[in-house]
Amino acid sequence: MRRDKDSKAKADRHALLAAAALQDHLARRLRMPGGPAVQPSLEPGAPMTLAQHLNLIPRPPPLLSEDQWSEVHLRSRLRQDSANECVICKEEFQTGAQVLLSCSHTFHRHCLASFERYSRAKTCPLCRAAQYQKRPITDGQDLFRVKCATRIQAAWRGHAARRAYRELRRHNPPKDERLRKKWAAERLQEENDRLLSKMEDEVGDLDSLFAELDASVAKSREVCDAALRPLAARLQQGLLREAEAEAASGRAAGRLALVESDTVAPAVACSGQQHLALQLGRAGLGVSAGLGAVAGAGAAGAAGSGGGEGPAGRPASAAAVDWDAVVARARARGTQDCPICLGHISRRGNEGIAWLSCTHCFHIDCIMAFEAFELASGGTPCCPVCRSGYRRRCFT
């Protein structure tokens, strides 16, 4: 009787506990106002309610251990899931993020997330296993890397083999007569092309070199002209005054004997100072003509004041110069370039050339500029090549 009473009380207590546990579970599940805050969940490893502890409600599955995960991973590898495509998007895994489910199926991480959002349930898209666990893996990436490396190596090996074969063909003429002819023609064409391209390169270099030289000469000439112009003007004025004074004192008659008899162009020819003064006074020549006239006067003065045949071969007077002999000797020497500007001497036939009695010849403008410079710096003009005094004959 007493034992019955005990067992009845025990059953009542148990029923009471179960009722309280179920009430707590429902209160959590239905989020009753004023009820407990923590929600019951079937997520693997989630905290359990009292009802779940008492086995009144299904428990959430326990978290997989490392050994279990290794076993799941091995199953996926044996099926070679990562080498195939993701079953959701039907594309290869390549370098995309990849997840492995506890049911051993594998998908792109983004594809699975989209699927979960779309189906509003947590079931494997392949086997419908509910409440799966997932973890990231890199099997797809590793396989893709190996695949890419293999392709690159294969392409490189193919390229190297083709190159080696072409080299072999280049150096070993084929046996067949027709192919052999073709081979020889190709080699000849190759050499020809190489030679032509090399020649073109060199011609291009020469052209640029000449252009550079021309530019540099033009620049030097500009600088020289600018420096000489004021000097020449000053000199011209001084000589004009001197010549006028001489003309007035009547000493011009003696000088006139020195006038070059076979001068071709009076404007730039060697001449007496009176002749020059008259010309300049009448015509008012430009700077370049002035330069020529001044230089001519200087040269004439130097030659005139020399007096006697010196050791440097200075002629006694204008009449003593045999111009035919001078030209013949210069021709025999084969002079091609003006020693001052290094330009070709006969750029306009015989025009613009000044012959000196020392048998050296120059461009007229070159020797004029030289004489003007010598006079301006206080020296006596002498041949830039042989340093002897001279008479000058100009062709304009």
Binding mask 362-381 for Zn ion (x = CB under 5 A): -x--x---------------
> Closer to Zn ion at the Cβ: 48 or 129?
129
> Closer to Zn ion at the Cβ: 29 or 221?
221
> Closer to Zn ion at the Cβ: 78 or 253?
78
CB of 170 to Zn ion, least distance (A): 51
- For position 294 contacting Zn ion by CB under 5 A, the verdict is no
**Cα–Cα dist 67/374, whole Å:** 107
- For position 393 contacting Zn ion by CB under 5 A, the verdict is no
- For position 105 contacting Zn ion by CB under 5 A, the verdict is yes
Among 111, 270, 291, 293, interactor with Zn ion by CB under 5 A:
111
CB of 338 to Zn ion, least distance (A): 3
- Of 54-62, 111-119, 195-203, 206-214, the segment contacting Zn ion by CB under 5 A is 111-119
Q: Scanning residues 192 to 251, which ones bind Zn ion (CB under 5 A)?
A: none
> Closer to Zn ion at the Cβ: 282 or 387?
387
> Closer to Zn ion at the Cβ: 127 or 316?
127
Among 371, 369, 379, 378, residue whose Cα is nearest residue 299 = 371
> Closer to Zn ion at the Cβ: 100 or 280?
100
Q: Scanning residues 117 to 176, which ones bind Zn ion (CB under 5 A)?
A: 124, 126-127, 129
29: helix, coil or strand? helix
> Closer to Zn ion at the Cβ: 25 or 363?
363
DSSP strand pairing (392-395 vs 361-363): unpaired
Q: Scanning residues 322 to 361, which ones bind Zn ion (CB under 5 A)?
A: 338, 340-341, 358, 360
- For position 391 contacting Zn ion by CB under 5 A, the verdict is no
Helix (H) / strand (E) element for 137: namely: strand 134-137
Query: What distance separates the 2 farthest-apart alpha carbons in the chain?
Result: 182
CB burial readout 253-271, b (16+ within 10 A) else e: eebeebbbeebeeeebbbb
Among 391, 371, 354, residue whose Cα is nearest residue 294 = 371
Interaxial angle between packed helices 287-304 and 364-376, expressed in degrees from 0 to 180 and rounded to the nearest 10: 70
**Cα–Cα dist 341/354, whole Å:** 14
Among 86, 268, 270, 299, interactor with Zn ion by CB under 5 A:
86
> Closer to Zn ion at the Cβ: 272 or 381?
381
Among 18, 26, 83, 386, interactor with Zn ion by CB under 5 A:
386
Local structure of residue 343 (DSSP, 8 states): S
CB atoms within 10 A of CB 370: 18
- Of 30-38, 65-73, 98-106, 275-283, the segment contacting Zn ion by CB under 5 A is 98-106
CB distance 112 to 86 below 8 Å: no
Question: Phi/psi class of residue 80: alpha, beta or left (left: φ > 0; alpha: ψ in -120 to 50)?
Answer: left
Among 318, 89, 353, 288, residue whose Cα is nearest residue 106 = 89
Q: Which residues bind Zn ion (CB under 5 A)?
A: 86, 88-89, 103, 105, 108, 111, 124, 126-127, 129, 338, 340-341, 358, 360, 363, 366, 383, 385-386
